[in-house]
Structure 1
Amino acid sequence: MKKLKPLGLILFSFIISLTAYSQSENAEGKSSADLAKQLANPNATLGQMLFPIDYIRYNGEVDNAAQNGYVLNFQPSLPFPISEGINLYLRPLIPIYLSQPVIGDNGFESKGGLGNISADLAIGKTWPSKWITLVGVFAGFRTASNEALKSRQNTLGPEMMIAKLTNFGAVGFIASHAFGVGNLSDADPSTTTILPDDFWVASDGTANTSVTAGQYFYTINLSNGWQINATPTYAYNHRAESGNKLTLPLGTGFQKVVLFGKVPVRFGAQYWYYIASPDTFGPQHHFRVTVAPVIPLPW
């Protein structure tokens, strides 16, 4: 039962977010199309409870590298308005690995449980030119419930975003750098999970974590609240061996805001194809389904 607690917490948060609107008006009576356009703004003052669900198909040069991974994520986004066009963000990301391939002594195994929680704290500003900038800090924590799922170190580093609101929607780019903080874990990197934030470390396992990562994103507004969008994530592991440093997908997808009475919910689906992935073992295909209730800010 202990392994189900994080999943139960996520499901409880989902139910709470769906019922929050029972005590409030539907985003000031806006239509689904209006809400979709507002949500395309990465500095919008709308609260969301994001539930991205991932299926990842792995491949590589190691034996039996064709593996499948399934991850349920929870990421609440509740911006705190400071002044007109300036917002403060604290956004934790809580992954639940339903099934993650792990390289062990006897080949691949499948592990599950709470993953490594990360969070960013940042301030975003929308300028009169419709450019948006964001600066902050990003941190990752070794919180995984299974030792095989833990990252090698806690991490901390700077984060920035540049985005542009356009006539068709929005486009932008996020970058952060994770420096290893504290002692390295004693785990042998050749016998532990190869996670998206640490695909392949130096063969001797002695170097501190140093990963530049982020995402690019775009949204194209269509009619009736439909949008073409994608938010692919990339990573460059400076400590990895040659051929295993860069992870870069091309992605596209669609999303739509649907009103359930007073409750707006954003549904989306994306596909990412990796044009660069660690040679030894890394992702090849990535399917993501997102369910994101839009909730009133508590302040």
Structure 2
Amino acid sequence: MAKAAQNPVAAMISVPFQNNTNFNVGPEEETQNILNIQPVIPFSLNENWNLITRTIIPVISQPRFAPGQDRENGIGDVQFSAFLSPVQPTSGGWIWGAGPIAQLDTSSDDRLGAQRWGLGPSVVFLRPTGAWVYGALINNVFDVGGDDDRDDINQMLIQPFVNYNFPDKPGRYLTFAPIVTVNWEADSGDKWTVPLGGGIGQIIKWGKTPVNLQASAYYNVESPENGADWQMRLQLQFMFPK
């Protein structure tokens, strides 16, 4: 069950609630909080292929970026991904999925989103081997419309992940899953956000429902001006295996 939770294209319904608290954000060095609600719903296309859909709904508490400005709370831009993934791994044991990612102009305030629509490719690949699960998720979103007065979107996300599952402690694991982002439209010194860190997770059961609990922390060794210094990530994931 832990390895299924670590597989972004597992053919299993799950609902993760991932809370990211970013510290020292903006010129006022205040705290930003982003709760990502990320339902994953798989569809069986035939005996060889699955379609795995993932929606990310960000609930944001945005700090002020100027004196006299208030904190803004609301919904950010929703992202939707659809991965076409083979039912069986490759002969080398690799699991993969590929498809589009769409960014929707859904923010409840102009400070919480890009005010533009986006589209691009997304791919994930991973390999479970023994106690380890390792791989990466990569996507790039380009703007395809919206408010022409707002900045263009050309942003890449790279999330490598390495998990070690303790053989003698079922459901417990160590995780390394930093979210690296690159804003290709930004100035040269402000393009990259590169976190380093890690955390620990445990699968438990609430009644008959498996639940994945995870806590981790990441320090940004590279970040744009007014970006966070470090991040605390807490996750609660409900899993509904067949």
TM-score by shorter chain over 0.5: yes
The answer on 1:221 being equivalent to 2:182 is no
Q: Which of 45, 65, 76 does residue 82 from structure 1 map onto?
A: 45
Instruction: Give me the whole-angstrom Cα distance separating, in 2, the residues matched to 1:181 and 1:283.
Output: 28
Residue of structure 2 in register with 1:240 after alignment: 186
1:257-281 Cα distance to aligned partner (Å, 9 max, x none): 1112211111111111111100x21
How many residues align? The count is 238
Change (3 A) 1:147 1:40: closer
| C-alpha RMSD of matched pairs (Å) | 2.0
Q: Which has the higher helix share?
A: 1
Residue of structure 2 in register with 1:18 after alignment: none
Residue of structure 1 in register with 2:83 after alignment: 122
Kindly report structure 1 stretches of 4+ aligned residues shifted beyond 4 Å. none
Residue of structure 1 in register with 2:231 after alignment: 286
Instruction: Give me the whole-angstrom Cα distance separating, in 2, the residues matched to 1:275 and 1:245.
Output: 13
What is the one-letter code of the residue matched to 1:50? Answer: P
Deviation at 1:176, TM superposition (A): 1.0
Q: Which of 256, 260, 272 does residue 202 from structure 2 map onto?
A: 256
Change (3 A) 1:220 1:213: same
TM-score by length of 2: 0.90
Return 5+ residue gaps in structure 2 as ranges: none
Determine if contact 1:102/1:148 at 8 Å carries over to the other structure. Answer: no
Determine if contact 2:58/2:78 at 8 Å carries over to the other structure. Answer: yes
The answer on 1:46 being equivalent to 2:7 is no
What is the one-letter code of the residue matched to 2:19? Answer: I
The answer on 1:271 being equivalent to 2:233 is no
- Sequence identity (%): 28
Q: Which of 110, 114, 129 does residue 147 from structure 1 map onto?
A: 110
Change (3 A) 1:85 1:292: farther
Deviation at 1:103, TM superposition (A): 2.4
1:86-97 to 2 correspondence within 5 Å?
86-97=49-60
Q: Which has the higher strand share?
A: 2
Determine if contact 2:107/2:115 at 8 Å carries over to the other structure. Answer: no
Residue of structure 2 in register with 1:27 after alignment: none
Q: Which of 62, 78, 89 does residue 100 from structure 1 map onto?
A: 62
Change (3 A) 1:83 1:289: same
Instruction: Give me the whole-angstrom Cα distance separating, in 1, the residues matched to 2:68 and 2:178.
Output: 29
Deviation at 1:227, TM superposition (A): 0.6
What is the one-letter code of the residue matched to 1:182? Answer: G
